Amino acid sequence: MLGFLKKAFGKTEEAIKEVVPEKKKTLEKEELEEVLLEADVNYELIERILEGLPDTVNRIQAFNSLISIFQYKADWIDPNDHHPFVEMIIGVNGAGKTTTIAKLARRYRNEGKSVILGAGDTFRAAAIEQLSRWAEKLGIPIVATRQGHDPSAVVYDTIKSALSRRIDRVIIDTAGRLHTQTNLAEELKKMVRVADKALPGAPHRKLLILDGTQGSSTVNQAKAFDEMIDIDGIIITKLDGTAKGGAILTIADELHMPIYYIGTGESPDDLVPFKANEYVNMILDEIYV
């Protein structure tokens, strides 16, 4: 797991080393502030992290202050509580939605679960084609239609197919952008309603994909989607391509949502569960002996 984390946060580590070239037993408070700023942590949050810390900070003190950001109450959803378990994947175009769906499907398959995909982004023909290629590559079924068709019909047909075939996991793609945000909101709300008609309680988890290269600026995007349809959790992608790995602290602090996975690269296996203590230790390993 730590190997995957180091791969994901390689550029963040490089940025930290520019601030603290050599590891130390203790760090001046100003140095810790500079490290967090370099990693794209929101400045107001940094002030709260540093509040109460002494002028010279040891590793235990830094760990306790950073890990406290993740100690909020969040409703974690267990896929094994539902059969089939229906997930709706939300996010703007370019955030890595389709690739993340493939990674999730691969992960479930490796766990011995059967999977079906629903190509619910009917706004873009490219999205349907890309997801269909992944389904073929992974050898799993997909429900897809042509560009411009009703995405809610895809939702309904995918869930009904999963029920009839006794499939364990349903993963449904959604459009990332329509002509206006109002159109997007109404479409997503309809898709949620139709999922519940096909299977009461579905979708069981609505996951928002956030592009890690955008850093803390993704917070407002997340809040907008949450207002539309009540997001249940987050996956953060593309962290291997950015030095903004500290933005996870800001995202956790602002949203108080479960962070389920992080993307650590382009391979179908480059998706790992997020664990806050390992994340914090990864940061501290770069600055403390």
- Is 80 exceeded by the pLDDT of residue 10? no
Domain 79-283 has CATH 3.40.50.300: yes
pLDDT tens digits, residue range 68-91?
999 999 899 999 999 999 999 999
Highest mean pLDDT among 122-126, 143-147, 202-206: 202-206
User: How high is the mean pLDDT of the chain?
Assistant: 89
In 3D, which of 49, 2, 39 has the Cα closest to residue 17?
39
Region 57-64 average pLDDT: 96
Region 106-125 average pLDDT: 95
Centre a 10 Å sphere on the Cβ of residue 135 and count the other Cβ atoms it contains.
21
Res 7: pLDDT: 54
User: In this predicted structure, which of 54-58, 65-69, 180-184 has the lowest mean pLDDT?
Assistant: 180-184
- Is 80 exceeded by the pLDDT of residue 21? no
More confident residue, 29 or 244: 29
Res 179: pLDDT: 53
Report the percentage of the chain scoring pLDDT > 90: 62
Res 213: pLDDT: 80
- Is 70 exceeded by the pLDDT of residue 8? no
Res 171: pLDDT: 98
More confident residue, 92 or 143: 143
Res 287: pLDDT: 86
What are the sequence ranges of the domains in the chain? 79-283
Res 39: pLDDT: 81
Res 1: pLDDT: 46
